[in-house]
Chains A and B, each alone.
Chain A
């Protein structure tokens, strides 16, 4: 992955707007967080292959970035995006890695389902 470039990410978000797309959205602090620090409240969520259409989307902030996709009937939101890649299947992979390099958030948009 490359450090996120706002203009490039925006172009990709535009490319995938108004189409049926599949979304992978994830936030995680790892299953071991509360094991190593019992005062830490562990939480996380992910959805893989949610099928939707967004009308438009935006990448904002000075980095790490925020991304919001506006649908007819709702929103998709991710915060903390640091890296991006358009992979060989033309899927937009956005990820946020924490200060030690561990994945903390992911938002991925594809025209075909993720495996």
Chain B
């Protein structure tokens, strides 16, 4: 993995960073690279409330905010920014305004690498809209000032259309922190995290491949 000057992670939901990217974030932090995580919403419209339910539609944002802060702490992210958009509404925001807002953060942090979702291949409309706004903001920069953009894609058709991921990070060295980050989002991952640990213990090859290898597509701007 290349040493970066500054890594800027931009996702719409608390926990978006946990599954596909938290290992990579940890490796950058171990490298001494500062990481900024800009999270657009608090996942206000999440459906996981605990079973039996311990969260309500109204308490969920506060719970998920605390979980996000805990995940950032576990990963060693010093600069966590919550941008105050609302879950499920990102695609309805004014695209230019959203891109400008992200552009300000890009300007301020001057990252050499941005990690976000691949627009059109990230399943949730908030994911696609966030990725699109990031790409729009990066396009505004002069060509020689543009950071690299690594995108996360996981739609069922993504490999057919955009090929194989060109960046694959082996995160086995920091797997404990990755699992801790996933667990930090307890309201959303409780059941899943328990199953996952069990599968890792049993060396389930599919789960190991998914957990230990984080895959990115470099966006060609």
Question: A-side interface residues toward B, CB under 8 Å?
Answer: 1, 24, 26, 28, 30-32, 35, 38, 46, 83, 85, 87, 91, 93, 95, 97, 100-104, 106, 108, 114-115
A100, chain B: closest CB distance, angstroms: 7
**For the complex, what is the distance from the CA of A32 to the CA of B46, rounded to whole Å?**
11
- B156-A87 in contact (CB<8A): no
A21, chain B: closest CB distance, angstroms: 15
**For the complex, what is the distance from the CA of A39 to the CA of B156, rounded to whole Å?**
13
Known: A35-B123, A35-B155, A101-B52. A30 touches B47 (CB 8 A): yes
Interface: B108 (CB within 8 A): no
Which of B53-61, B65-73, B161-169, B209-217 participates in binding chain A? B53-61
**For the complex, what is the distance from the CA of A102 to the CA of B52, rounded to whole Å?**
10
- B51-A97 in contact (CB<8A): yes
Known: A32-B124, A35-B155. A95 touches B56 (CB 8 A): yes
Closest chain B residue, CB of each to CB of A82: B53
Closest chain A residue, CB of each to CB of B125: A31
Known: A31-B123, A35-B156, A103-B47. A97 touches B53 (CB 8 A): yes
Interface SS majority for chain B: loop
**For the complex, what is the distance from the CA of A80 to the CA of B58, rounded to whole Å?**
19
Known: A101-B51, A102-B48. A1 touches B88 (CB 8 A): no
List residues of chain A with CB within 8 A of the CB of B50: 101
Interface range for B: 20 to 34
A5, chain B: closest CB distance, angstroms: 15
**For the complex, what is the distance from the CA of A40 to the CA of B195, rounded to whole Å?**
25
**For the complex, what is the distance from the CA of A97 to the CA of B77, rounded to whole Å?**
34
List residues of chain B with CB within 8 A of the CB of A115: 58
State the 8 A-B residue pairs at the shortest beta-carbon distance, nearest first.
A101-B51, A102-B47, A31-B124, A103-B47, A1-B53, A35-B123, A106-B57, A30-B47
List residues of chain B with CB within 8 A of the CB of A95: 49, 53, 56-57
**For the complex, what is the distance from the CA of A103 to the CA of B155, rounded to whole Å?**
23
B123, chain A: closest CB distance, angstroms: 5
Interface centre among B47, B124, B155 (most CB of A within 10 A): B47
Interface: B83 (CB within 8 A): no
List residues of chain A with CB within 8 A of the CB of B155: 35
Interface: B141 (CB within 8 A): no
B53, chain A: closest CB distance, angstroms: 5
List residues of chain B with CB within 8 A of the CB of A93: 56-58
The contact sample of 14 A-B pairs, CB cut-off 8 A, is A35-B123, A46-B45, A46-B88, A87-B59, A91-B58, A95-B53, A97-B51, A100-B51, A102-B47, A102-B48, A103-B46, A103-B49, A108-B57, A115-B58
